[in-house]
Every structure is written in structure tokens, then in C-alpha cells.
Amino acid sequence: MKDNVDKVLNDFVEYKLKIEGRGEKSMLQYVDRFKEFADYKGLKTKEDIINVTAKDIEDFLKYLTDKGNGANSRKVKLAQIKEVFKYIRKENKEIRKLIDEEIFEIVPPKVPKRKVKFLDEEDAIDFISFIGNLRTKAMCQIMYNTCVRFCELIQITTDDIERGYAYVIGKGNKERRIDFSPLTIEIAKKYINNYRKGVVERNNLNTNLLFVTRNGLPVKSTHFDECLKSNAKRFNESPLYSGRLDWWQHFSAHKIRHAGATAMANNGTPLNVVRDILGHDNVTTTNTYVHTSDKVIRETMINNDSKLVRENML
């Protein structure tokens, strides 16, 4: 048990990547958050980690509260710390006996429910139609149509648009196929033959990547989110759509992905199909992506009676 904390965390990440197929980006977050706990507690070696008690972790959560960490942030950090201890506990029976089992019984902070801001189908369609920039419009349309993540969106090529589908690599290095609707292909081709054509000619580009900046570089997520916020602000302030996106400051690419999933579910697509389109492992995750508008809820309740019931009641 002479290993230091970095060695333990490196082994943990390797296990999660190679055995469980987890994504590298998310695992780096686990490492950063466990190191925050290790620094707080002064952990240096594997033995130090094994000797941690549930009270040590509870004290750390109190420390985070005093620092101003919100309930959701503390909940995530607790879950990630527990994952490291679960990994260490797997090593052998002797170590299992030394781990404080009460660590796994620590109750996570309760996160207050808040009303989720999302695009319903009407808002999504009007918003994408409103966008004037051909590249931003094409990116939004593909995300809405296929529900791809941003990291998957930027893998798409012009050849993919020509054949009507693409294979992308998502979380956990999982490959999946996405198919484009006729409208999506039409919007993408308009971008290819105008905006993108000019970029290629000006920069003498030799790439089939679909989305590039005016300087011929791959589009970054921060830049795309800025474009979305700018368009959402103008959409919200326009006379025709005034007030419909009053939460435009929180707009992001992920909102488009959520909107596509919500539209599919509300139009009758089975949840297990939506799950596969999103590239999720289970329906529980998919449920967090699918939202129901107040309008749909009201209409469902109003129409929730059959002719037979009405005839018996009247």
C-alpha cells in the first residue's frame, strides 16, 4: 500500500476507461474532484485513502457548503468520491475489510427542484428558421433532427451529407449511425454551396469536415454557444417572437439536443427508440432529456375523457 494518491487515481481512470468504457473527459472530472478532497484531508498515500472515514467525507461536505458550493455540486462530488472508494474496495478482501462501509451510506444533499427551461417544438422550429447565418442554422438543424452531441456534430463531413447518414463516435468511444432528414440535407447543402464554399476558396482548404470557421478551423463549442446566445437574444427581442426565450442567457447547444428528443417523445416515438437516438445506455438518463410543456399538460388533461365516460356522466 505504498502507492501515492496519483497512482491510485491513474489506476482508477485506466479501469474505468478500459473495463467500463467510460469517457475520458468525465473521468478527468472524477480525478479533479477527488484531488480536491485529498488536498482538504491531506491524503498522500493509498493507505491514507483506505483510512478515510465517513465522518471525514461529511466534514468535507460541510467545508464545501461553507465555501458556497451548491447542493448539486456537493451531490456530484460525493458520488464521484464514492466511486473511487468502490474501486479500491474491489482490489481484495483484506482492503475491503479496512474500508469504512458507512462511506457508501452517506445521504447525498437534497437538490431543490427547479423549473427546467427548454425549447418546445414550436419554439425550436421558429428559432432555427429565424437564424440567418447559414452555418449556425445548419448546425442547429442537424442537432435538432438527429439529437447529436456537439462533439459528434463536428465529426460530420460533407460526404456524410451527400450519402444521407454519418457514423459518429460518442461518449465512451461508442460508435452510432445518424440519419439526416430531407430538410436537414437541404439546409446543410445550402450552407455547403454558399458559406462553406467561400471559406474553402479563401483559405485554400483541403478538408471534408462539414463545419469550419471563417478562418478554416474546426468550430469550438464555446464559439457555437456564443452564437446561439446571440441569436436567442435577438429572437427573444424581435417583435414577432418577443418574450419567448426570456432565458436566452442560459441557451446552449445542449438545449437543441434536448428539444429534438422532446419533440420525438411528444410526437409518439417510443422512449427506448429516443434512448438509442441519443446514444444513452439506459432510459433513466433519457428521461432527464425529455420535457413536457405546460401547454401539452393542459391539453392532455382537458382531453382525458372518452365518449363512454362523457355519456355516463351526463
**Is pTM beyond 0.85 here?**
no
Q: Which of residues 105, 134, 168 is at a domain's end?
A: 105
Q: In the chain, which residue ranges form alpha helices assigned H by DSSP? A: 5-18, 24-41, 46-50, 54-67, 71-89, 93-98, 121-130, 134-146, 150-153, 158-163, 182-191, 197-203, 221-237, 253-266, 271-278, 283-287, 294-302, 307-313
| pLDDT score recorded for residue 308 | 46
CA distance 244 to 236: 6
Number of domains in the chain: 2
Q: Which of residues 36, 71, 105 is at a domain's end?
A: 105
Domain with 19 in it: 5-105
- On the 0-12 / 13-18 / 19+ scale of CB atoms within 10 A, 199 is middle
Same domain, 154 and 226: yes
Same domain, 130 and 199: yes
Residue 114 lies in a domain: no
To the nearest 10°, the Cα dihedral for 297, 298, 303, 309?
Answer: 100
Q: How many CB atoms lie within 10 A of CB 109?
A: 19
Residue 169 lies in a domain: yes
Q: What is the pLDDT along the chain (314 residues), one digit of tens a residue?
A: 568 999 999 999 999 888 887 778 788 889 999 999 999 999 999 999 999 999 999 999 999 999 999 888 899 999 999 999 999 998 888 888 999 999 999 999 887 765 667 788 888 999 999 999 999 999 999 999 999 999 999 999 999 999 999 999 988 788 889 999 999 999 999 999 999 999 999 999 999 999 999 999 999 999 999 999 999 999 999 988 888 899 899 999 989 998 888 888 888 888 788 888 887 777 776 766 666 556 655 565 445 554 444 444 45
CA distance 275 to 73: 26
Residue 137 lies in a domain: yes
